[in-house]
Amino acid sequence: MVVVSNLGYPRLGENREWKKLIESYWSGDISQEELDQESKVLRLANLKKQVDAGVDYIPVGDFSLYDHILDLSFQFGIIPKRFAKEEKDLDLYFAIARGDKDHVASSMKKWFNTNYHYIVPEWSKTKPHLTSNHLLELYREAREVVGEKAKPVIVGPVTFVALSSGVQDFTAAVKNLLPLYKHIFKDLVNAGASYIQVDEPIFVTDEGADLVEAAKCVYSYFAKEVPEAKLIFQTYFEALIDAKELSQLPVAAFGLDFVHGLEENLEAILSGLFADKVIFAGVVDGRNVWSSDFIKTTELLKAIQENVAEVVVQPSCSLLHVPVTTKNETDLDPVLKNGLSFADEKLVEIKLLAEKLKGIDNPAYTQHIQNFDKLQAADFRNVVLENLDNVPTQRHLDYSQRQLLQQERLGLPILPTTTIGSFPQSPEIRRKRLSWKRGEISEEEYKEYIKSEISRWIKIQEDLGLDVLVHGEFERVDMVEFFGQKLAGFTTTKFGWVQSYGSRAVKPPIIYGDVKHIQPLTVEETVYAQSLTSRPVKGMLTGPITITNWSFERTDISRAQLFNQIGLAIKDEIQLLENAGIAIIQVDEAALREGLPLRKSKQQAYLDDAIHAFRIATSSVKDETQIHTHMCYSKFDEIIDSIRELDADVISIETSRSHGDIIESFETATYPLGIGLGVYDIHSPRVPTKEEVIANIERPLVQLSLGQFWVNPDCGLKTRREPETLAALKILVEATQEVRAKFGKA
């Protein structure tokens, strides 16, 4: 028998119903009771979809009102100390994620090497305890819809603790959680659960190699205390780090990624390590939107099946990382659309693959192969790689010499103030954009409106006293999607939304062919903004690595080739901006760290390729042109050398949510370039105090010089409201002025 399983389903809904529902609660438009009722409707609709698709093991517990890691923290009573006296209710749950008027939010980090962000659990001396068995409640709810197909999903104790902060004793922390997991598992088994999916992705990382003994202790404990629980030890995003040891864990099944961890995981299977095991085989890519190569995948499944006790067909990871469905994408080229596979289509794929493995010849299987072949043969898949021999990859002068020329041109004060690029996109801006797209207003009317917003915000920035201004990016829906709409080789979707963090959804473009610069991208708005002020206005671009990492990339060429293609396109745009007199050009690489391979053995090659592409984009400028870049939410100490190698004149980095931890990366390393360490958190509606901002400016100055430090928020301000933005920036400027005066540089 061959059955199919799913690891997780998108929360957003086909039309972002989930996002709108939660934001309605935050704005006070609906009550908690209404939120609970409507979110239940969404959960049950997701379950029914998976039943209708023929999924045999349907995930329960993957749905969340913000983040599944935050759900666990809340359920285990792991509440940040600063919130300890607050009532443990839904508003506290959201406050931990978003902050409130009295408390800063918890840190937010990337979920391994994806663009999903989780809320980092903050441990203190409080012993974890089970506040409720929320997973049991969800399981009972799901049983009413899907019966025995319901499969509870929970992040395992080793991964949960490994992703936490403030843990003084790792072993003790894990042991304190075991009775809580035991309680949850017992309740689930008593309620009728068969398989229980326990996500332990930490065991595909190098860090996981040091935690194998912990895994042995944990899963031996569960085998002894809850022997009736059929646990799936589920990993994804890479191969199992120590298959020889971990294959001996006393669990009912193993979930392995045969897309991103293909070679190592397949080798472990063929070696016989899992000969008597049930394998949940992740053979359909849960992180990209291209349809599967059925011929190769069927052969892979046959090889797995011949070497294990039983195989279950599933995606490589949760489908949280892809859009919901292609059915509403009516504007795409049919050949391209038929070669795409979003969450719903991936459920169809795993069903067809399982049927083929059982010997069932479904006409849809044959049609899928035909669609796949048509895509590969399409003209737009042709690969033309440009000769890079004559493209500079190094600036003419080094930074110390460039800095003098740039300062002479710009005349900036000590501790120059600026923002990262975007300003609030009000409901009015979104309505105007929608009206323009629908043809209700002309393109000329829309452009005039955008100009009026640029003009208004240039005046606001001047009045606030900011030193380096931005045009605000009001014409952009997203820092990557915008470029995907204007570069050759990209397409964008209507409804291809994916959750990034909380209610924040992005619509990644799809790179389907060769990337080329075919028109000016940002020149008109930037030059207009500069014409309104004597202060420098930054040109705002997104870098080749971030564009790649935040797009659904083509997989028929190497990433290095794709990086270089996009680098050349950005180089052409930089040249246009420079020729138009723009003195500062920011090339954001917010996702540089995000794309870093999980294994150290693969990281340097990626970083070398990333540095090369960034330098292709930025090294052709004049020495007096200042290149900025921006990065966010990363463990920068791991890549500090590579950050230096980018040779950007100024880099701005998020530090506020990390409560200063990231600053240590630059305090313990000699960083010779300009740097702005974000002095307040823009992902929270909370306005910082002046004292907090002053502290965030002064701490880095212990290590960094006055001449190299910039003052800025930690990220773009697009998602914030105007009043809180103005209040926060006013405090930023006032705090900077006080620090300047303190150092005698007023």
Q: Quick one: fold of 399-425+464-474+523-742?
A: TIM Barrel (3.20.20)
φ, ψ of residue 650 to 5 degrees: the values are -140, 135
Q: Give me the residue spans of the domains in the chain.
A: 3-63+122-377, 399-425+464-474+523-742
CA distances from 96 to 11, 29, 118, 522, 594 (A): 20, 21, 12, 37, 23
Which DSSP letter does residue 233 get?
Answer: E
Nearest of 418, 450, 332, 303 to residue 675 by alpha carbon: 418
pLDDT tens-digit series, residues 225-248: 999 999 999 999 999 999 999 999
Assign 510 to helix, strand or coil. strand
User: Tokens at residue 509, please?
Assistant: 């473009």
Spatial separation of the C-alpha atoms in residues 188 and 691, rounded to whole Å: 49
Spatial separation of the C-alpha atoms in residues 32 and 453, rounded to whole Å: 36
Spatial separation of the C-alpha atoms in residues 92 and 74, rounded to whole Å: 9
Question: Which residues are CB-neighbours of 397 under 8 A, at least 6 positions away?
Answer: 405, 623
Alpha helices in 510-638 (DSSP H): 523-531, 544-549, 559-579, 600-618
| CATH fold match for the domains 3-63+122-377 and 399-425+464-474+523-742 | yes
φ, ψ of residue 500 to 5 degrees: the values are -105, -55
Known catalytic residues are: 683
Q: With b meaning 16 or more CB within 10 Å and e meaning fewer, what string describes 423-446?
A: bbbeeebeebbeebeeeebeeeeb
Contact criterion met (CB below 8 Å) for 663 and 700: yes
Residue 659 confidence (pLDDT): 46
Residue 662 confidence (pLDDT): 57
Burial label, 54 (beta-carbon count in 10 A; 0-12, 13-18, 19+): middle
Binding-site positions for Zn(2+): 630, 632, 654, 715
Assign 713 to helix, strand or coil. coil
Binding-site positions: 16-19, 110, 115, 420-422, 473, 550, 588, 594, 630, 632, 654, 715
Rg (CA), the chain: 26
User: Tokens at residue 593, please?
Assistant: 């760290």
Q: Which residue's entry shows tokens 């190592």?
A: 264
What parts of the chain have a pLDDT lower than 50?
Answer: 659
State which H helix or E strand residue 95 sits in: helix 90-98
CATH of the structural domain 3-63+122-377, one choice from 3.10.580.10, 3.40.50.300, 3.40.50.1970, 3.20.20.210: 3.20.20.210
Spatial separation of the C-alpha atoms in residues 111 and 725, rounded to whole Å: 28
Spatial separation of the C-alpha atoms in residues 436 and 266, rounded to whole Å: 51
Binding-site positions for 5-methyltetrahydropteroyltri-L-glutamate: 16-19, 110, 115, 550, 594
Q: How is 409-456 classified by DSSP, letter by letter?
A: HH-PPSS-B---SB----HHHHHHHHHHHTTSS-HHHHHHHHHHHHHH
Nearest of 522, 583, 557, 686 to residue 103 by alpha carbon: 686
Nearest of 585, 544, 587, 596 to residue 566 by alpha carbon: 544
Neighbours of 39 (CB within 10 A): 19
Spatial separation of the C-alpha atoms in residues 440 and 552, rounded to whole Å: 31
Assign 90 to helix, strand or coil. helix
Q: Which residue's entry shows tokens 């994408």?
A: 329
Longest dimension (CA), the chain: 80
Burial label, 723 (beta-carbon count in 10 A; 0-12, 13-18, 19+): exposed
Nearest of 218, 227, 232 to residue 278 by alpha carbon: 232
Contact criterion met (CB below 8 Å) for 325 and 501: no
Question: Which residues are CB-neighbours of 326 under 8 A, at least 6 positions away?
Answer: 332, 337, 340, 341, 342, 344, 345
